[in-house]
Protein backbone atom coordinates (compact mmCIF):
# COMPACT_ATOMS: atom_id res chain seq x y z
CA UNK A 1 0.00 0.00 0.00
CA UNK A 2 1.26 3.47 -0.94
CA UNK A 3 -0.53 5.82 1.40
CA UNK A 4 0.82 9.32 0.78
CA UNK A 5 3.53 11.59 2.13
CA UNK A 6 4.44 15.17 2.83
CA UNK A 7 3.57 17.91 5.27
CA UNK A 8 0.33 17.08 7.14
CA UNK A 9 -0.07 20.80 7.98
CA UNK A 10 0.12 21.92 4.36
CA UNK A 11 -2.45 24.01 2.49
CA UNK A 12 -1.80 22.16 -0.79
CA UNK A 13 -2.63 18.56 -1.53
CA UNK A 14 -1.68 16.87 -4.80
CA UNK A 15 -3.76 13.88 -5.80
CA UNK A 16 -2.63 11.49 -8.53
CA UNK A 17 -4.13 8.30 -9.88
CA UNK A 18 -2.45 5.22 -8.47
CA UNK A 19 1.05 4.00 -7.60
CA UNK A 20 3.22 2.79 -10.48
CA UNK A 21 6.05 0.27 -10.35
CA UNK A 22 8.61 2.44 -8.54
CA UNK A 23 6.01 3.69 -6.07
CA UNK A 24 4.99 0.10 -5.37
CA UNK A 25 8.61 -0.94 -4.84
CA UNK A 26 9.50 2.00 -2.60
CA UNK A 27 6.15 2.46 -0.84
CA UNK A 28 6.22 6.17 -1.70
CA UNK A 29 4.08 8.34 -3.97
CA UNK A 30 5.43 9.88 -7.17
CA UNK A 31 9.03 8.67 -7.00
CA UNK A 32 9.31 7.26 -10.57
CA UNK A 33 9.92 9.26 -13.75
CA UNK A 34 6.61 11.14 -13.52
CA UNK A 35 7.33 11.91 -9.87
CA UNK A 36 10.77 13.27 -10.69
CA UNK A 37 9.18 15.61 -13.22
CA UNK A 38 6.61 16.71 -10.65
CA UNK A 39 9.37 17.39 -8.11
CA UNK A 40 11.26 19.40 -10.73
CA UNK A 41 8.24 21.62 -11.37
CA UNK A 42 7.66 22.21 -7.65
CA UNK A 43 11.33 23.09 -7.24
CA UNK A 44 11.03 25.57 -10.11
CA UNK A 45 8.80 27.63 -7.80
CA UNK A 46 11.14 27.15 -4.84
CA UNK A 47 8.86 24.55 -3.25
CA UNK A 48 10.18 21.20 -1.96
CA UNK A 49 7.90 18.18 -2.27
CA UNK A 50 8.09 17.77 1.50
CA UNK A 51 6.17 21.05 1.87
CA UNK A 52 3.03 19.74 0.17
CA UNK A 53 1.10 16.51 0.65
CA UNK A 54 1.11 13.99 -2.20
CA UNK A 55 -1.25 11.05 -2.47
CA UNK A 56 -3.32 9.07 -4.97
CA UNK A 57 -6.95 8.13 -5.52
CA UNK A 58 -6.06 4.43 -5.40
CA UNK A 59 -3.56 3.26 -2.82
CA UNK A 60 -2.32 0.03 -4.44
CA UNK A 61 -0.70 -0.45 -7.84
CA UNK A 62 -3.14 -1.73 -10.44
CA UNK A 63 -1.50 -4.75 -12.14
CA UNK A 64 0.44 -3.67 -15.22
CA UNK A 65 -0.49 -0.03 -14.52
CA UNK A 66 -3.97 -0.50 -15.95
CA UNK A 67 -6.61 2.10 -15.07
CA UNK A 68 -8.09 1.63 -11.61
CA UNK A 69 -11.48 -0.06 -11.56
CA UNK A 70 -14.60 1.33 -9.94
CA UNK A 71 -14.55 -1.12 -7.02
CA UNK A 72 -10.90 -0.25 -6.35
CA UNK A 73 -11.78 3.44 -6.26
CA UNK A 74 -14.70 2.74 -3.92
CA UNK A 75 -12.50 0.66 -1.62
CA UNK A 76 -9.82 3.36 -1.40
CA UNK A 77 -12.04 6.43 -1.31
CA UNK A 78 -12.71 6.43 2.47
CA UNK A 79 -8.94 6.61 3.08
CA UNK A 80 -8.65 9.60 0.77
CA UNK A 81 -11.65 11.28 2.40
CA UNK A 82 -10.03 10.83 5.81
CA UNK A 83 -6.70 12.18 4.53
CA UNK A 84 -8.47 15.29 3.21
CA UNK A 85 -10.33 15.72 6.52
CA UNK A 86 -7.12 15.47 8.55
CA UNK A 87 -4.95 17.65 6.36
CA UNK A 88 -7.66 20.22 5.59
CA UNK A 89 -5.94 21.64 2.50
CA UNK A 90 -7.07 24.98 1.10
CA UNK A 91 -6.25 23.75 -2.40
CA UNK A 92 -6.23 20.37 -4.14
CA UNK A 93 -4.38 19.97 -7.43
CA UNK A 94 -5.78 16.97 -9.29
CA UNK A 95 -3.08 15.32 -11.37
CA UNK A 96 -4.77 13.86 -14.42
CA UNK A 97 -8.29 13.20 -15.67
CA UNK A 98 -8.79 10.21 -13.45
CA UNK A 99 -8.13 12.16 -10.26
CA UNK A 100 -10.17 15.17 -11.43
CA UNK A 101 -13.16 13.04 -12.40
CA UNK A 102 -13.14 11.28 -9.05
CA UNK A 103 -12.75 14.39 -6.88
CA UNK A 104 -15.19 16.47 -8.92
CA UNK A 105 -17.61 13.60 -9.50
CA UNK A 106 -17.57 14.07 -13.27
CA UNK A 107 -18.72 11.65 -15.98
CA UNK A 108 -16.30 8.89 -16.99
CA UNK A 109 -15.21 10.33 -20.33
CA UNK A 110 -14.74 13.99 -19.27
CA UNK A 111 -11.54 15.16 -21.02
CA UNK A 112 -8.92 16.86 -18.85
CA UNK A 113 -8.17 19.40 -21.62
CA UNK A 114 -11.62 20.97 -21.12
CA UNK A 115 -11.38 21.44 -17.36
CA UNK A 116 -7.69 21.96 -16.61
CA UNK A 117 -6.73 25.27 -15.08
CA UNK A 118 -10.22 25.95 -13.73
CA UNK A 119 -10.90 26.45 -10.03
CA UNK A 120 -13.79 24.42 -8.64
CA UNK A 121 -15.19 24.49 -5.14
CA UNK A 122 -15.66 21.21 -3.28
CA UNK A 123 -16.59 21.52 0.41
CA UNK A 124 -14.82 24.88 0.56
CA UNK A 125 -11.63 23.46 -0.92
CA UNK A 126 -10.40 24.98 -4.19
CA UNK A 127 -9.92 22.10 -6.63
CA UNK A 128 -7.79 22.64 -9.73
CA UNK A 129 -7.54 19.90 -12.36
CA UNK A 130 -4.36 19.66 -14.44
CA UNK A 131 -2.44 17.19 -16.58
CA UNK A 132 -0.82 14.12 -15.08
CA UNK A 133 2.99 14.40 -15.05
CA UNK A 134 3.18 11.02 -16.88
CA UNK A 135 1.21 12.62 -19.72
CA UNK A 136 3.81 15.40 -19.86
CA UNK A 137 6.57 12.84 -20.29
CA UNK A 138 4.90 11.84 -23.57
CA UNK A 139 3.60 15.31 -24.50
CA UNK A 140 6.08 17.99 -23.60
CA UNK A 141 3.78 20.54 -25.27
CA UNK A 142 1.56 20.38 -22.19
CA UNK A 143 4.30 21.62 -19.86
CA UNK A 144 3.54 25.37 -20.04
CA UNK A 145 -0.11 24.72 -19.14
CA UNK A 146 0.87 22.39 -16.34
CA UNK A 147 3.28 25.01 -15.02
CA UNK A 148 0.54 27.62 -15.13
CA UNK A 149 -1.91 25.38 -13.24
CA UNK A 150 0.71 24.51 -10.62
CA UNK A 151 1.54 28.18 -10.21
CA UNK A 152 -2.15 28.99 -9.66
CA UNK A 153 -2.45 26.21 -7.07
CA UNK A 154 0.71 27.38 -5.27
CA UNK A 155 -0.53 30.97 -5.30
CA UNK A 156 -4.00 30.12 -3.96
CA UNK A 157 -2.39 27.96 -1.25
CA UNK A 158 -0.10 30.85 -0.24
CA UNK A 159 3.22 29.33 -1.29
CA UNK A 160 4.01 32.14 -3.71
CA UNK A 161 2.89 35.75 -3.92
N1 LIG B 1 1.37 8.12 -11.03
C2 LIG B 1 0.42 8.40 -10.11
O3 LIG B 1 -0.71 8.72 -10.43
N4 LIG B 1 0.77 8.32 -8.82
C5 LIG B 1 1.99 7.99 -8.41
O6 LIG B 1 2.21 7.94 -7.21
C7 LIG B 1 2.94 7.72 -9.40
C8 LIG B 1 2.62 7.79 -10.70
Per-residue pLDDT tens digits for 41-97: 999 999 999 999 999 999 999 999 999 999 999 999 999 999 999 999 999 999 999
SS3 78: helix
How far apart CA 156 and CA 91 sit, in angstroms, is 7
**Is 54:23 a contact under the CB 8 Å cutoff?**
no
pLDDT in tens, 112-160: 999 999 999 999 999 999 999 999 999 999 999 999 999 999 999 999 9
Verify whether ligand 1 is closer than 6 Å to residue 68 (CB atom): no
Verify whether ligand 1 is closer than 6 Å to residue 129 (CB atom): no
Verify whether ligand 1 is closer than 6 Å to residue 18 (CB atom): yes
137 alpha carbon to ligand 1 midpoint, in Å?
13
pTM over 0.95: yes
Verify whether ligand 1 is closer than 6 Å to residue 4 (CB atom): no
Question: Using CA of residue 86, residue 111, residue 20, residue 22, what is the dihedral sign?
Answer: negative
How far apart CA 85 and CA 49 sit, in angstroms, is 20
- pLDDT tier at 103, thresholds 50, 70, 90: very high
16 alpha carbon to ligand 1 midpoint, in Å?
5
What is the H or E stretch that residue 37 is in?
A: helix 33-44
DSSP class of residue 69? P
Amino acid sequence: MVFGEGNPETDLMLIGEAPGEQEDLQGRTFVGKAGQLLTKFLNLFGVAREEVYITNIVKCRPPGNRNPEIDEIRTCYPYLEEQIKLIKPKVILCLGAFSARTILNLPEKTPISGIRGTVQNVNNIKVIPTYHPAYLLRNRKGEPEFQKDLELALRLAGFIG
